[in-house]
Every structure is written in C-alpha cells, then in structure tokens.
Structure 1
Amino acid sequence: MQNYFKRKEPSSSTPINVVEIDDLPYDPYYRPRIFQYNPNQRDEIRRQYWIRGPSQPRGNDFPKTNGRRFVKAWFDKYSNWLEYSVKADRAFCLCCYLFGDQGGNEAFVTEGFNSWNKTERFKDHVGHINSFHNKALQKCDMLMRPNQSIHAAFHKQDDIVKTENRIRLGATVYACRYCLKCALPFRGHDETEASLFKGNFLELLDLIISQNEELRKLPKAPGNNKLVSPCIQKDVVKCFKQEVLKSIFKEIGDDVFALLVDESSDVSKKEQMAIVIRYVDTLGLVKERFVGLVHVKETSSLSLKSSIDSFFAKHKLSLKQLRGQGYDGASNMRGEFNGLKAKILEENSSAYYVHCFAHQLQLVVVAVARKHLALVNFFDKLAVLMNVVCASCKRKDILLDKEKERVEKEIGSGIIETGKGLNQELSLIRPGDTRWNSHYKTLLLLIDMYPSIIKVLEYVKEEGTNGSSQNQAHGLLKYLKSFDFVFYLHLMLRILGFTNILSQALQRKDQDILEAVSLVESTKERLQDLRITGFEQLLKKISSFCEKHDIEMLKMNVNCVNSRRQRDKITNQHYYEVECFNTIVDMQIQEFSDRFSEASNELLISMAALNPRNSFSMFDASKLMRLSKLYPNDFDSLEMIELEQQLDMYIHNVRKDPRFANLNGIGDLSRVMVETRKYLSFNLVYRLLKLALVLPVATATAERCFSAMKIVKSNLRNRIGDEFLNACVICAVEREALASVKDEDVIHRFQNMRFRKGKV
C-alpha cells in the first residue's frame, strides 16, 4: 500500500492540535494561519480573537522605516480591523486573518504591510462593498450573532424561555460576584442535591432562590442548562476579571505609567509574578492597580522580561509608555547589566528604576542588628523567649491568665483607665524575619506584658517538663532582669519607633516619591537629634522601668565591668553612652545615608522644585527644565520652548490663587490642578507633574496581592488553575473596580464567549 500512497510530509500547514484559548498569541506576526488550527476549534478561536479586538498598541513609539513611520491616527480611522505588530513593525488585518483560509490579500494576513508612504493601500484593502475584506468583516459580524447560525436553528427558544434563562444567569452572576468579593472558595467537597454543604457557590445560590419568589416559580431547568456547573462558574469569573481590567486600562489609556513587579511561590510551589501598574487617573489621583498574576517557570531576568512583554501585548500596552520601575533588591531584578531593570532600560531609557523604599528600610535595620554584638545577643534572646513562652499552648494560656489578673488588679488600684477599646486581650507577637516593623510591636508588648512574662518563665523554670526548657527559662530570667536587657529594649524601641512611622507611610498606595524622600530625611534628622540629646531621656525611661519592676539600676559613675577594655577603667556612663548608644545610632544614620542614595540624584533634586509647600518656596524653573530633558520622549524641542514660558506663567498664577495655598505635596497639587482645570492651561507643567507622581515608592501593593493569593489558593484548594486563580485574585484585590462592574456587561460578555444553547 505504501508503494501507491506516499505519506505526506509535515509542513507549516499541518493542523495544530487542540490549544488553550487563553494561550493564543497576541502579536499578529506570530499567529499561525487560521486553517492550521483544529477544525473543531476554529470558530471558537475566531470568536476569541474578535472579542479581543485588533492588537493596537497606541502607546508604542513607532520606529521609522525609510524616513516614514506608522501613524497612530490610523487606528482610529480603521479601528475595527487594523492591527500593528510591535516586533515586526508591520500592519495586519484582523478580519482577513480570521477568514484568511478563503482567499484575500496576503499582504495584510501573512507578510504584513509596512510601506508607510503608500497610505492609499489601506483604502484599497477595504475596497468595494463586495471585496474580500468586507465579506470577511460580514462573516465576523455573523459569527457574533449566533441566533442566525445553524446551531441556533436546532435550538430555537421563545421569549419565555429566554427570560427564564436570563433570571437564572442573573442569580449565577450575583453568587459569583459575592464569592469573588469575599475571596471565598466556590467548590464544595460534596455538591450533590442531598449534601448538607455543597460549597459556597451552590449554598449561596440556594439561599438566593429561597429568598426570591421569581426564581422559586421558575420551572426546573434541564440538567445541562442550570448555569451552575464549574465551567459556567469559571466563565463568569473570567468575565468579571475582563471587565475589571477593562476599566483599569481604560483609565490608563495612552498615558504613562510605572511598573511594579514582585515574585512569590504559591501553596503548590509555582512561582507567581505579581504585576502592578501605577498611574495618574483623570481626576489627578495616583492609583496603584493590581492587574495580574503570571506563572513563570524560572526567575531569570530574560524569563521575567518575556512574561512582561507577553502581558503588555495581551492588554495592548507598550513599554514606551513606561516611566518608572519598582522592584525589591533581588539581583535578577536590579542587576546593572543583566537584571530586569537593565533589560527594560535597553528599550526605554525613560523607565527610571527606583529601589523599593520599604525594602531598603528593612535592610537598614537588619544591617545594624547584625553588626553590633550586643544587639545580636538581644535579638537572639528575643527569639528564644518566643519559643519558650509561645511555643506551648499551655504556657500561652498561662500568659493570658497572668496578664488578665494583672490588668484587673491595676484597674482596681486606679493605675489603668477603662473605656471602649482599652485593655483588650493581648499576646506576644512573633517577629518576622523579613518584616522588621513587626519587631516594634513585639517590643511594645514585651514592655507592657513584662510582669506576666516573668511569671510564665518562673513557672517554666519550676514546673518545666524537661531540663532544656527549664535551663532556657533560667537563662532568660537572668537576662530579662538585667540592666543590659532593659537598656537595649528601650533603645531599640526608640529607634524602631522612628523607622516604624516611615514604614507605615511607605505602605500607602498614593505615596509620592518626593514625600517618601522627605520622610527619609526627617527620620535621619530625628536620629541625629536622638544622637545629641537622647541619652539622658533614655536613661530616665530605663530608670523608671527598673524601679517599677525591681531591677537593679547601674550607677553610671562607677567603673564598667562589661567593657572589654578593663585596663582603661571606663565608667558605665561612658560605656553605655559612647560604646553602645552613640555607636548604634551612628550605624543607623550611616546605613540610612548609604541605602537611600536616591535622594541625592539629579532626577529627585529636579522633581523637588514641583513641591507646593510653603507657597511653592522650592520652585526653580531651571531645575524643572533639566527635569524635562531627562524625558526626551515626552518633550520635543518646540515643547521645551513652550514649557519655559508656561513655567513662568504657572508659578505667578498659582501663588496668587488661594486654592493652592495649603497643599501638602505634589499629589494634592495634581488633584487641585484637575479640580481647577488649570491642567488644561498648563498642560506641559501637568505632564511634568504626572511623570513625578508615577515613579514608584514601594512594592507594598504587590506584596498585598500575595496575601490575597494565599487566601484564594490555600492548602485545601492547591489544585486551582492559573487562569482561575488569576481572575479570583484580581477581583478580590480590586474590589473597588469590581463593585463598579455592571451585571449587564458581564452577561453580555458571557453570552459572546462561545455558542450557548440557552439564550438570554
């Protein structure tokens, strides 16, 4: 048989196996021809591409070819079919691609068009009413009207059935919205009719039906048309996600934005990359929006860059719109030559990198804690204390009982005041290795619960079940009743109190970089003041604590026995003030200066001239002109001349306007400029202001997304798919955008996703 029938060699036209709809390529240059896909999937793929719409990266900086380039206005003129490939710098036709297996102009389907000087080719491609392009466009419209298809002819439904389906789908959409808003798991262990717990979705749906008379009166739907299956749930959730992202990207439009990226593994040990976009909305408000989780198989800079490129292509964004990057301190992120920062800067030199301020602050405290031996011993003892007191449930209960007895006794003596929210039940918090602001809370509780902790340690010492814990309790009692412990406890509480204010401020989504730099400088100044006048105040607090808890207070004028330089015969005053207090505070100040070097570069110095505080006292037109030169893609030579004139008029105008008198930062300035519509008169100044506002400060928003991810994908839900996880986390994090999504839009998108027998 093989002699008569030769086997056909595989070629580029060999049909592709069944593919995941969500994995279809976005760049038109890399798409396989439509006839290469599985015949059973072609209509679904066509529908998916047509719902996505043409790939139109409007924010892209289109390169020149033979002195000509692609014009963004063509997107508006041919909005329903014209596509552009960023990688190939060529134009394509979406509708001709979808029905390209039936003839047509190959230039706009396979090769792409790039003769930008021959603009008449676009009009020629559209052609007359019976041209192939118009026929393909008509087929696309017919594809989105399934009521006229042959499938619909076999499943005709009257208006009553459609109304019933609409009511059922509305209940499904409502139940999905509630589960997404509360980050609840959809599925249950047993979803049968007789089950007492079918899962949150089905239980909520039953509750809705029981409270809605219209739903109760509906006839029972066929088994395949109840709109409650897992596939239906995932489709509805996906529709919610797409509507949320649609509203976010509509706010961004063609404007500039910053990119914040962080990585973390989920419960099933998959590396997930969180992507956050920072931008200024139409009201002049700074927003940080979580826009997606991307599963990355490796965390190299090339892999991360490739994932970001795919994400941008998917949502019609461009790296040319990028004006800021914010990452943590990992080498694959901030590497000078091969890091993600460097890869993006190669394509866009205006995407300035800012090291996460919160991460830098953590490095400051960690560095100091590791360099001073006495502090190393203090935090080591603190870790042992947590293990001894909090590791056992019995000991933790004893601690709570002792603390309750103490509070009741002090309330009876009039030492403690009573009132709403006061004297709540407290317990020691175990400090986190990567969250040094948690140490501040631990030290606060340690001071407040000190008597109860001592009693628990005495109990463990006397009644402990093994010699190891008894020995640890004995050593801790000796250390906790020493002057050294009290000294370092109050010193670190004072220092961490300063840095905690800065840490809390860096968690704000609308925190601008100038305000963050100002807070860093204020923290340095407060540490300098502590260095000069803080020792005497610290001694008073230590003396009061020692007197209250019967701890021996050292005499400061006698020779010190702790010093390693015994022959020098230094006093306790000299040792604790010079070798301990001054040394530790100096280390903090030095680390601040080393870690926060961004505060001295030209970019931030120039941006400081925008600060509206004290009647724009820091305004300097020459600095702002230098700032505009750092963004060559945003200001051309003519706009530079116009900007200089605008700056002169701008400062004269806003200083006389009482509405600009008491502004606290550039965030307030942006908002008021929009409210007073001065952003229209001083459009170039407002553009400078937005460039300053989009620079990221910290990656706290990205880290919050991982907290939501751990709630959505828990140990009991560790098999949840990446696409469903992504949709659930986006909706759970961006609840404000979710609340603005209309049910009608979700239902419309749900109906257009694929052919469905039940119509609404």
Structure 2
Amino acid sequence: MKDDNEDSDSIHPLSSRASIENLNDDDNKSLSSHIDIFDPRCWDALDSKMIDVLVIKGPQRDKSIQKGLKNKFGRRFVSDLYVRILDNGEVQDRDWLVNSKELDKVFCFCCKIFKKGYVKGGLVNEGYADWTHVAVRLQEHEVGLEHKKNWATWYELQKDHWKNVLLRIICIVKFLAKHSLAIRGTKERLYENNNGNFLGLIEMLAEFDPIIQEHVRRITNDDIHIHYLSHKIQNELIFLFASSVRSEIVKKVRQAKYFSVILDCTPDVSHQEQMSLILRYVDLTSSFVVIEESFLGFINVNDIKGKARDFFGTIQRIYTIFAHSTKRWQILKDNSYLRSSISQERFNGLGLLAIENDYLEKVAHEDLVEDFVSKNSRRLLLFT
C-alpha cells in the first residue's frame, strides 16, 4: 500500500484532503500540458497545486532502464538500487528513489518534494551520480531523521488516498447489496465483457472521479498489485456489512425485551436442507410501535439431529445474551417447531430433539413462575 498518496497541511497550504479530492481531470491536463511534473528537473518549480497532482499520481519510474550509461570509471546506474536488503533477508522497495534518464542521476522523491529550505545532499537537490559510492550513500540517507520525517509525511498522504479508494469501493458494494444486485460476473478483470456489476461501476466511476481514475490507471499499468477489487475483498466487505446489520438487530431485540424465534427447514433448488433463523420483536426505536421480523441467515442441515443439537446450544446462547425474561423458554414449547418439521416421512429439527432429550423437562418452570408471581405481587402491594 505504498503506491498512493494525498495531503500534508504543514508542507503547503493547498495540500489538504479536500483539495486533493476536488482535483479533476481538466486540472491534471492543464498542468501536464505546461510542465512535466514527473521530471525531477522540474520539481523545484512546482507550485502547491502541481505538488498535489504529483502526490496523487506518485513518482514514475522508467522500467525499461535496467542499466544506465557508464561513467569514466566504468560505473553506472542499475535497477537493483530500487530495492533494499534488510538484515533479516527481506527485500524492501525503495519507493522514494527515482532515476532521471536525462540527467543520469537519482533523487529522493519525498525529500525533494517536502523539504523545508535548503538541505545538503545531492539526493535532495541536484541529484546524485557517484555510482561508486551510491549504495553507501543510499543507506545513510534512508536512515536519516529528515528523510524519515519526509517519508512519514508522504506515507500519511498515501493513507488518505487509500481511505478515499476504499470509501468508494465500500459504497459500491453497499449499493449492490442494498438493491439485491449480483456483484460478480464470469470475468474478474477490468474492461472485460461480463465482469459483473461491481467492476462495471468501478469503470464508470473512473470516467469522472479522479481518485478511482488514478487507481484504475495504476492497476492497468501494473504499478500496483494490491488494488482491493478482488472477490475476496468483496466477500469480506459483505461479511462486515452483515455483521453490522446483525449487531443492529440484536440491539433492537435487547431494547424490545420480548421476542420470539422462528425456525423453518426447507430444501433449496439443489435439494440442500436449510434452516432459516428469523427473530420477531417489537421495534421501539420509532415513535410508532412496529412488529418487525428480521432474517438472520440460513444454516445448512446435513445431519438433522447433529445440526439441530448444535443449533439448540446456539438458541440457548441467544437467550442468555438478551435481558432476563420469564418467556424466554416459551419458544421451546411452541408447536410452531413441529408445523413444518415433517420431511420425507420423518421428524427433523429441534422439535423432535427437544422431545427425545427431555430438554423441556430440564427447564425450571416452577422457579420461573414463582419469580414472575413474586414480582407481580410486589406490584399489587404498591397499589393496595
């Protein structure tokens, strides 16, 4: 996630999140037509708005240059300088290092852009071309305090940019889920036929939204490989949405205090037996009293008794979570368990399980009744 960027209030006044989000494509074209913002030779002449555009797009490397021209000592630039080997053997990309083909010099992008005043060093000013000592110089520079500060500033801008990208992706997934629209197609690549509604909306946003436009440009140019458009990310977002909705339902049920659980088993089109879980409760969050039924999900029932036994424990935990109520075991005595429990000439589900294992006998009904009576007796004494 080190390929995007966005703002810094302390560096230049226009480098803010709002100004970056408001940059449109016309601004980019007008700026690029006058000056090449990707050329390190022009970075000292950039104004605040140009810097904002450069920060969004990031530095560009000419990947075709693997080796530069040799100097009089037979030394030259090599693309291996773009990576750093850590002490533990890890390979780290020096994303801040940029090579100028015209000058045959290397620059530090973040220090060149975000420096305050004059800073000594070729990497920050006119460029560095001492290929004999370049490896040592890069190591010294990247551990310097000033470089770390400038890199941190650049990194914060990248975080803001990724937040904006994720915000748009989340909004698209939320829109599709809210309207019960299919997310994926038969293809999972941008600008391919039948790639689904999700990628189609990404392509549509890229026509006018500068954030997604730049994100798509980097994907199509292979500048980044972490793009958050895969089906795994889509599934994770859907799971998070479902968890949020489920938490809101549980919150309403807690406030309602009295509720019932509706369970039903039915096969789907593939003849897979499924159990649906629905909560019925009174919604007290609005000014009008409304009876709500909230669907919580399906549970595949492969082993009728085994799954039912597991789910019985789930129901017990559900009742334990909510406020204490004398009616919380009433569902187990409700005949609705058995209304649709006959399938293939046999009983299935919790109805038969409760009968076979005498779960209802284990419930302390007398204690519940005595508790209920004592509470109501105290209420009567208050009015006598």
For the aligned pair, the TM-score class normalised by the smaller chain equals 0.3 to 0.5
Give the strand-richer structure, 1 or 2.
2
Normalised to the residue count of structure 1, the TM-score between the two structures is 0.25
Normalised to the residue count of structure 2, the TM-score between the two structures is 0.47
Instruction: Flag the structure with more relative contact order, 1 or 2, with Cα contacts below 8 A and sequence separation at least 6.
Output: 1
